[in-house]
Amino acid sequence: MIRIMLGNWFTLPRVGSDVFSKLMRQARLRYDREKRMFLVEPETNIATLTAILREALKEEVVIELPCFVCGKSAGCGDCEYLEICDRTTVSNQCICKDCFGMDAYEHYCDLFTKKLAAAKVKI
Amino acid sequence: MMWSEKYRPKSVKQMIGNEETRITFLEWLVNWKDGSKPILLAGPPGTGKTTLVKAVVNELGYDMVELNASDVRTKEKLQSIIPSLLSNVGVLGKKTLLFLDEVDGMSARGDRGGFATLLTLLKKPTIPIVLAANAEVGEQIKELKRVATMLKFKRLPPRLLALYLDHILKMENASVSIGDKIRLIGVSNGDVRTLLNEAQSLATAGFSEGFQPTDFSVDIDKAIATFFSIDKVEEALDILARSEGFYNDPRFAGYDSEKRRTDKLAALFSSIVTSNVDIERMADMLNALAYADVMIGKMGRTRQWRLLRYIDTILTYKLFNASRGLAYNQYDIPFVLMNRVFREARLIREIIGALARNTHISKRRAANFLPYLLFILSKSKFDVDEFLNANNMSPELKELVEGEIARLVKVVKK
């Protein structure tokens, strides 16, 4: 099984030039030659990416969303909404069970403000 | 007041989802200078495109001029409105932002030169210009991407929707059961506006388009059978209203086997067409169903889900006299065949929908063109993967498209 956590660089087994070309051209995946790692970008077509990898590697491809609050995996495999969440088309960050507690929305908003400040965007 | 308007975020910090896109958009506007490329916000409805623009404009103290591209689609109209806006910068002492919504509603080739004029006007902006579109692909989007920077909006993950729903319910001092919450989030399909409208309907009126409270529900088969056998019209209405079924327009939401099973209109239809009543009586009943179907379609298109509750009444009073003595019949064709027919019909509808969106023609016209398109595809060097990818269709459709092409080629050979 291949796990891809969105927003994190990941490696793939050797896939051959045809598949690599499909990953770049059709799925619009980003590749860093120095690191030899891949990254899912906002313009990446995740449905196409998973289909290409599944066909080429004959393995299940699991997309994991990161938690916006703590940055760890959102725990998609154990999520109560697993069946109704299409991780190939949803916004690339979610919230994990641990961060989904009391005043979770307020924490989420505060963290967004901090990330804005970190990006040096003043409003 | 609708919750979706009452709680529309006033600040970009109060929004949920699409975090990177929000930050990128803010960076663009904060650092905007004369000649900066316009921004194109593209994504499904209810994901926050308009809310983001309104919130940022509010926070950064801009005056926003909002135009709907479908209202200013001709060259003359665009030339009379936009250049004057671009040259009036600063007259009122406040910065101005131009927001052009639904640009994918303009035709790339038609609209009497409107789209070409828009592209020209976008090349030298003297004020920040933001465009919004539901489509992410298509001829117009391709052209717009040359003059504007595209930012994609995606549907929101269910757990983030749950986070926001909990917050709104807390503010309203309202509650829904955990089961209902999961179903509400499923019905909304990543669309915050739909989620809040549905939640408000459920929390305030005990009714929602997607489902009805389970403790009231009667199995669809029992409900329809009782509906046909009961003597009093009021009781027939009551049992139809309390059935587990609902009214769903597959043109908007598609059909899975469960939706098909619990679709009240489909259950009535299959029971009526398999009955042995005379042709006039059947015509009367089918007319009643057709009328209800048209109403359901209109309610879906205008998002007036609350009006769906009246369909039970309309159907009961229109069907009651003609339908006495009928029996419930779930399927008008054998189940094994029907499952395949409905699955393929759903997938073909997906293809037609994508083609219609990309070529900006009606679904009916796209359906007429589809066999020709597939035949051309069979003769060309394009492979099916490329065709699906170019039209932003799911790779799952590959098998179906290949099957359709094979069938088509066989028919042509004969």
Residues of chain B with pLDDT under 70: 70-73, 87-93, 105, 107-112, 205-217, 249-260, 303, 331-342
Predicted confidence (pLDDT) per residue in A67-77, tens digit:
999 999 999 98
Q: Do B158 and A85 touch (CB under 8 A)?
A: yes
Q: How confident is the model at residue A101 (pLDDT cuts 50, 70, 90)?
A: confident
Q: Is the dihedral of CA B376, B380, B382, B383 positive or negative?
A: positive
For residue B197, what are the CA distances in angstroms to A22, A101, B61, B131, B223? Answer: 41, 25, 30, 26, 28
Identify the closest residue of chain A to B183 by CA–CA distance.
A84
Contacts of A81 in chain B (CB under 8 A): 157-159, 162, 182, 185
Find the mean pLDDT for residues A9-25.
Answer: 92
Query: What pLDDT sits at residue B214?
Result: 41
Is B253 within 8 Å of chain A by CB? no
Alpha-carbon gap: B380 to the closest alpha carbon of chain A (Å) = 19
pTM above 0.80, yes or no: no
* Rounded Cα distance, B60 and B374, in Å: 50
The pair of structure tokens assigned to A86 is 């299409």
Give the distance from CA B160 to its chain's centroid. 20
Query: What pLDDT sits at residue B71?
Result: 66
Alpha-carbon gap: A55 to the closest alpha carbon of chain B (Å) = 11
For residue A113, what are the CA distances in angstroms to A107, A108, A118, B11? Answer: 10, 9, 9, 11
The pair of structure tokens assigned to B262 is 């619990």
For residue B357, what are the CA distances in angstroms to B64, B137, B338, B402? Answer: 29, 8, 28, 22
Q: Do B166 and A104 touch (CB under 8 A)?
A: yes
The pair of structure tokens assigned to B184 is 């509400």
CB atoms within 10 A of CB B37: 15
Per the document, the length of chain B is 414
CB atoms within 10 A of CB B80: 11
Which residues contact residue A3 at a Cβ distance below 8 angstroms, ignoring those fewer than 6 apart? A62, A64
List residues bridging with B133 in a β-sheet. B42
Q: Do A81 and B185 touch (CB under 8 A)?
A: yes
Identify the closest residue of chain A to B27 by CA–CA distance.
A121
Question: Which ipTM did the prediction report?
Answer: 0.90
Query: What pLDDT sits at residue B338?
Result: 60
Query: What pLDDT sits at residue B112?
Result: 59
| Mutation for A interface: B137, B152, B159, most A CBs within 10 A | B159
Query: Which of B63, B98, B64, B61 lies closest to B83 in space, CA to CA?
Result: B98
Window 19-48 of B, Cβ < 8 Å to A:
19-23, 26-27, 30, 47
Contacts of A113 in chain B (CB under 8 A): 13
Minimum-distance CB partner of A42 among B20, B392, B396: B20
Contacts of B160 in chain A (CB under 8 A): 91, 94-95
Query: What pLDDT sits at residue A108?
Result: 95
Q: Do A91 and B185 touch (CB under 8 A)?
A: no
Q: Do A122 and B18 touch (CB under 8 A)?
A: no
Q: Do A116 and B23 touch (CB under 8 A)?
A: yes
Query: What pLDDT sits at residue B212?
Result: 45
List residues bridging with A64 in a β-sheet. A5
Alpha-carbon gap: B104 to the closest alpha carbon of chain A (Å) = 19
Query: What pLDDT sits at residue B109?
Result: 57
Alpha-carbon gap: B390 to the closest alpha carbon of chain A (Å) = 9
Window 169-188 of B, Cβ < 8 Å to A:
182, 185-186
